[in-house]
Amino acid sequence: MTPSPTSRLWSLAVLLTLACERPQQPAAVDSTAAADSVPRDTTLLETTRSGWETGFGPLLLVAGAQREASAIFPNFSDSTLTDTTTFDVSILGGMRVDLLSRAGLAGHGRLQSVPSRARDDGCVAWPEATVTITDSVATRSPWTVAFAAGRVTPLALDSIESQSGADSARLTAEVSRLASLVPDDTAASFRGIPYFVRQVRRFRVAPDTHVLIANVTRRINQEANPREEQLLVVAERAGSRTGARYTLAYHERVSGPEEAIESTDVLAVVTLALGDGPAILLIRDYGDGNAYALITRASSGGWRLSWNSAYAGC
């Protein structure tokens, strides 16, 4: 039977009344929205997007002159760091840090922020902090970098200079062999020119993996246009058998005019306190400024460039 118009109107009124009297249901929980309601640590969120592992802490300290250090905020990129950038340096005051050198742990310290200085030269600079050393550890070299206390464990590096004459010659020959195996040799003008081994550093990853980091150069000594090629090589060797060869694991190659080419060096090698694979901290020197980078090793093996800082300088 077809309901009359009066019946349809009465049914609609009942439904509207029930809808008005129904108790409000709690909104479905959305994990993203719930997270947004919690006060954010902006540094950690940004650094995750930049490739910086949050386990390394909120920033990196690089040793400067006297007791001062540059505070590298890893969430900034070349497009966001300018000569007018302002920094939230409130986290610097009183922060406890572990001081590292290439030889391992160099000591511990505490930070105090330094008032920013007005610049009118158009150069880009990181904020500065004063480092008060609270205790030191005898190492072969002064501290180079620092992380927030308890974040990382340093790994000791040795260098080619610490090797005997025969061992040094053997290692130099091994690095030259590795350099010759590096692909992407697209700069035809450098082909056939012998490699010069500038620096070799080594460390060990448990249980028995030896890692080699080498800086190798080639030069074209033309008076009017001297050119240079810089090659960074990371290689691994399993076991400690004398004469065992390394396997190429990672490389970077740059070439250009001698006065403009960047040079790369190792500042420290660390592992995260949570036990992740090792990370090689590099400084890239462009002459008028610097940038920093992390090359990390996955637990399953294999190295990759995981983070680049913004460039600071003129």
pLDDT at 2: 43
Q: Which two tokens stand for residue 188?
A: 């035809």
Per-domain residue ranges for the chain? 42-151, 158-313
At residue 261, does pLDDT exceed 70?
yes
Q: What is the pLDDT of residue 161?
A: 80
CA end-to-end span of the chain, whole Å? Answer: 88
Range 168-179 average pLDDT: 94
Identify the weakest region by mean pLDDT among 17-26, 44-53, 78-87, 268-277: 17-26
Q: What's the pTM value of the predicted model, to 2 decimals?
A: 0.81
Q: How confident is the model at residue 188 (pLDDT cuts 50, 70, 90)?
A: confident
- The answer to whether 103 and 61 have CB atoms below 8 angstroms apart is no
pLDDT at 47 over 80: no
Mean per-residue pLDDT, 23-48: 32
pLDDT tens per residue across span 203-222: 998 788 999 999 999 999 88
**Which sign, positive or negative, has the C-alpha torsion 25, 31, 33, 35?**
positive
310 close to 123: Cβ distance less than 8 angstroms: no
What burial class does residue 114 get, using C-beta atoms within 10 Å of its C-beta: 0-12 exposed, 13-18 middle, 19+ buried?
middle
pLDDT tens digit sequence for 141-157? 799 999 999 999 999 99
List all residues 6 or more positions away from 246 whose beta carbon is below 8 Å from its beta carbon.
174, 178, 210, 212, 235, 236, 237
How high is the pLDDT of residue 151? 97
User: Is residue 112 within 8 Å of 94, Cβ to Cβ?
Assistant: yes
pLDDT at 31: 28
pLDDT for position 241? 74
What single-letter amino acid sits at 270? Answer: V
Q: What pLDDT does 140 receive?
A: 67
Q: How far apart are CA 160 and CA 173, in angstroms?
A: 12
Reported as a pLDDT band with limits 50, 70 and 90, residue 117 is confident
Which of 8-22, 50-64, 72-86, 255-269 comes out lowest in average pLDDT? 8-22
pLDDT recorded at residue 259? 87
Q: What pLDDT, on a 0 to 100 scale, did the predictor assign at position 116?
A: 79
Lowest mean per-residue pLDDT among 21-25, 33-37, 287-291, 304-308? 33-37
> Residue 94 — pLDDT band, cuts 50, 70, 90?
very high
Task: Assess whether pLDDT exceeds 80 at residue 135.
Answer: yes
DSSP string, 192-250: TPPPEEEEEEEEEETTTEEEEEEEEEEEE--SSS-EEEEEEEEEEEES--TTPPPEEEE
Handedness of CA 80, 86, 90, 92 (dihedral sign): positive
pLDDT bracket for residue 242 (50, 70, 90): low
